[in-house]
Amino acid sequence: MPGELAAQAVSALATVSPEPGAAKPEPLLIADGVNRHFGGLVAVDVTHVEIQKGAITALIGPNGAGKSTFFNVLSGFDKADAGTWSFAGVTITNTAPHRLARKGMVRTFQLTKSLSRLTVMDNMLLGAGGQTGESMVASVFPFTWKAQEKKNRERAMVLLERFNLAAKAQDFAGSLSGGQRKLLEMARALMLQPELVMLDEPMAGVNPALKQSLLDHIRDIREEGTTVVFVEHDMDMVRDVSDWVIVMAQGKIIAEGTPDTVMRDQRVIDAYLGAHHDQQLTASGDSLTEGTSS
Amino acid sequence: MDMGFVLTQAISQAIGVTAIIYLLATMGLNIQFGYTGLLNFGQIAFVAVGSYAIGVFMVQWQGSAFVPNLWVAIIYALLLSVVLALILGVPTLRLRADYLAIVTIAAGEIIRLVFKSTDALGGAQGINGKMGEEFYAINPFPQQDRFDFGPLSYTRNDVWVVTVGWVVIALLLLLTWALMRSPWGRVLKGIREDEDAVRSLGKSTYLRKMQALILGGIFGTIGGIFWAVAKQSVQPDSFVPAFTFFCYTILILGGAARVMGPVIGALIFWFLLVFIEQFLLLLIDNGTITFLEPTQVGPIRFILVGVGLMLLMIFRPQGILGDKKELALDAR
Ligand SMILES: Nc1ncnc2c1ncn2[C@@H]1O[C@H](COP(=O)(O)OP(=O)(O)OP(=O)(O)O)[C@@H](O)[C@H]1O
Ligand SMILES: [Mg+2]
């Protein structure tokens, strides 16, 4: 059931021309001339891209297209060789990751980073922002942080319920299954109440039934006013949940548009065919769905 | 020489000055390595700074206006410890974990060799002299020659040293406990598990790692100060890399990332070391063992302790206080 904010996002994007680097009515994240190469290999070469505020944007592309590297650069985990980017109107080029997170831009990782020997609850609490007790001096005076800790714990419990992890709250995160770790990482990112979440393959290794509920979570996040960018290989998922799709291939953005437009785009089909020429694929938008889901 | 003597020796060493020094250094290592995952292989450098600060300020610079008394010297020692932590941490803590390991082990040796070859800092002879006058002057124990606790017997100075040592340990354990159950401690543990995850959640890991390095270093320096005051002598060749490795042994024996881990580890380590030594000497003395000379006992006890540790790693790899469940997680 699309809510009010979702409808706004969709209508805002309706007028945007489906071209690489298209200007958005209300961009939250803008990147210009971002370049990252490893030796001779150009991993990322993005001339211009804008992410619409309040929308769910999917970033797709064949393996090795540079999606994760682009995420790493934007979120400060990797240094770009060139380029500038800004978040909510503030330049954040090469800003340290923890500062970005505090500004409201949080990401998850393709290879899940659960903190194994911390409990699920402690993982969640680590996500909460602005904690007084995280200062060394205040930490030895529990009265300065006990109340805040209690509130965070309640909020964490609500999120864990939502992500079907409440029963695991006191278990070590290392004892979770791969899919559960993906869920935990997403829930943990939400503890920060971010303005923008960047999810790198949040649904990889998650079973189909849970995928559906994850999609619902992603829609919920948008309903709360959070902007979502996610990388995903499963085209059904992309079609299902995203308001806008950006396609990367060989480091470049080759197409943009609503899910339907993009999947009919000849450049996109070529890019995927190029990457999957050993697979049986007909050049139609529909078979693309099968050929690329992994 | 009999079994009672062997046990008395072992117990008195397990709670004695040397064990206290190792325990303080290991408690620092627990904060750095156990909780934060920092590979400090040069804890001895922090201990040496503490010992030498007291030695140099109290003996070499005796009567200087800069260091009016022991208490001021202790404050300087702690400040120098912070400086050392900054020197070691600033260039390495932004890099991968192994850089700190390399730099700390090198720093430990550099510091020892500099002290050993600089006459103004004692040179090869080290520093001998009165280093704890003010400390012994406030000894509240009544004036009498010996203090007997069951089979244990201490001089008036020793009983004061050991008491203060364990009180300091108790206070620092309390501090460790308070820190590690707080959100600050949670960030440290998060850094140990995955630094990038913690950074992605908006925490400065560099700051927290630096704080952990400084705090753990200060614990080691307190051990060093205690060493100088208790033994009234500072010898460069006491500060060898093996010290740090024994600290790691104690930590892993007791259980890393457990507040009481180092205490259990140090008690057992020193008890076993002295017990084995004295027991072998007893057996040689009464003719049960004929194939060993008393001089061979020193090295052999380390071999036996090594075997004991191997058995521990096989049957209880998480240490005495560790949680087996936690360890199993690494295998996944
Ligand atoms: N640290 C690195 N050193 C060298 N090459 C790298 C490095 N990181 C990424 N690359 C290269 O950059 C290219 C882009 O990699 P990236 O991980 O961004 O792809 P991706 O689009 O996320 O792929 P996938 O869908 O498989 O996750 C690849 O060719 C990869 O080999
Ligand atoms: Mg990737």
Q: How confident is the model over A55-65, as pLDDT tens digits?
A: 999 999 989 99
Query: What is the mean pLDDT of the segment spanning A219-241?
Result: 89
Q: Which pLDDT score, from 0 to 100, does residue A274 have? A: 61
Query: What is the reported pLDDT for B180?
Result: 96
CA-CA distance, A119 to A184, in Å (whole number)? 11
Residue that wins the pLDDT comparison between B1 and A30 = A30
Least confident segment among A259-268, A283-292, B114-123 = A283-292
First to last CA, chain B: 52
Name residues whose C-beta falls within 8 Å of residue B205's C-beta, 6 or more positions apart in sequence.
Answer: A98, B187, B191, B195, B198, B199
CA B314 distance to own-chain centroid: 25
* SS3 state at A196: strand
More confident residue, A166 or A291: A166
Taking the Cβ of residue A119 and every Cβ of chain B, the question of whether any pair is shorter than 8 Å is answered with no
Please give the average per-residue pLDDT across B106-112, as a whole number.
94
Answer yes or no: is the C-beta of A110 below 6 A from any ligand 1 atom: yes
Average pLDDT of B7-36? 94
Segments in A224-250 forming alpha helices (H): 235-241
Residue A110 Cα: closest atom of ligand 1: 27
Q: How many angstroms separate the CA atoms of B149 and B137, rounded?
A: 23
Among A171-185, A216-230, B220-234, top mean pLDDT goes to B220-234
Stretch B197-220: mean pLDDT: 96
Which contiguous run of DSSP H or E holds residue A155? helix A146-162
pLDDT score, position A21:
80
Helix, strand or coil, per DSSP, at residue A47: strand
Query: Around Cβ B306, how many Cβ atoms within 10 Å?
Result: 11
Residue nearest (by alpha carbon) to ligand 1 atom 31: A64
Residue A118, pLDDT > 60, answer yes
Secondary structure, 3-state, A77-131: CCCCCEEEEEECCEECCCCCHHHHHHHCEEECCCCCCCCCCCEHHHHHHHHCCCC
* Mean pLDDT of the region B302-325: 82
pLDDT at position A225 is: 87
Average pLDDT (B158-185) is 96
Residue closest via CA to ligand 1's atom 10 equals A43
What local confidence, expressed as pLDDT, does residue A2 receive? 54
Would the pLDDT of B28 be above 50? yes
Region A210-237: mean pLDDT is: 88
Q: Calculate how close chain B gets to A23, using CA atoms only, in Å.
A: 28
Q: What is the pLDDT, as a whole number, of residue B188?
A: 97
Report A:170-229 residues touching B (Cβ under 8 A): 172, 174-175, 185, 188-189, 191-192
- Is pLDDT above 60 for B33? yes
Residue A191 · residue A133 · CB < 8 Å = no
Per-residue pLDDT band for A287 (boundaries 50, 70, 90) equals very low
How far apart are alpha carbons B21 and B164 in whole angstroms?
12
- CA distance readout (Å), B248 to A143, A213, B27: 35, 47, 10
Which atom of ligand 1 approaches the CA of A71 most closely? 18
pLDDT, mean of residues A149-158? 96
Q: Which of chain A's residues have a Cβ under 8 Å away from the Cβ of B199?
A: 77, 96-98, 101
List CB contacts of A283: < 8 A, sequence separation 6 or more. A269, A273
**Residue B194 reports pLDDT greater than 60:** yes
Predicted local confidence at residue A284, as pLDDT: 44
Q: Is the pLDDT of residue B294 over 80?
A: yes
A176 contacts A205 by C-beta, under 8 angstroms: no
More confident residue, B164 or A285: B164
Whether the pLDDT of residue B73 is over 90: the answer is yes
Residue B325 pLDDT exceeds 80? no
The top-scoring range by mean pLDDT among A275-289, B100-114, B298-312 is B100-114
Asked if A113 lies within 8 A of B196 by C-beta distance, the reply is yes
The length of chain A is 294
- Confidence band for A8, pLDDT divided at 50, 70 and 90: confident
Mean pLDDT of B213-227: 97
pLDDT at B11 over 80: yes
Looking at chain A, the whole-number percentage of residues with pLDDT higher than 70 is 91
- Of A7-21, A103-117, A142-156, A187-201, the poorest mean pLDDT is in A7-21
- What pLDDT does A177 receive? 87
**Per-residue pLDDT at A278:** 47
Mean pLDDT of B299-326: 83
- At A294 the three-state DSSP class reads coil
Q: What is the pLDDT of residue A286?
A: 46
- Residue B50 CB partners (closer than 8 Å, separation 6+): B77, B81, B220, B221, B222, B223, B224, B225, B226, B227, B228
Residue A264: what pLDDT? Answer: 82
Nearest ligand atom owner, CA of A42: 1
Distance CA B152, CA B12 (A): 7
pLDDT value, residue A194? 93
A179 vs B137, higher pLDDT = B137
Which pLDDT belongs to residue A281?
Answer: 44
pLDDT band at residue B149, thresholds of 50, 70 and 90? Answer: confident
Is residue B310 predicted with pLDDT exceeding 70? Answer: yes
pTM of the model: 0.90
Instruction: List b or e across A193-208, with b for residues whose CB sees 16 or more CB atoms inside 10 angstroms.
Output: bbbbbbbbbbbbebee
Alpha-carbon distance A187 to A161, whole Å? 10
Taking the CA of A63 as reference, the closest ligand is: 1
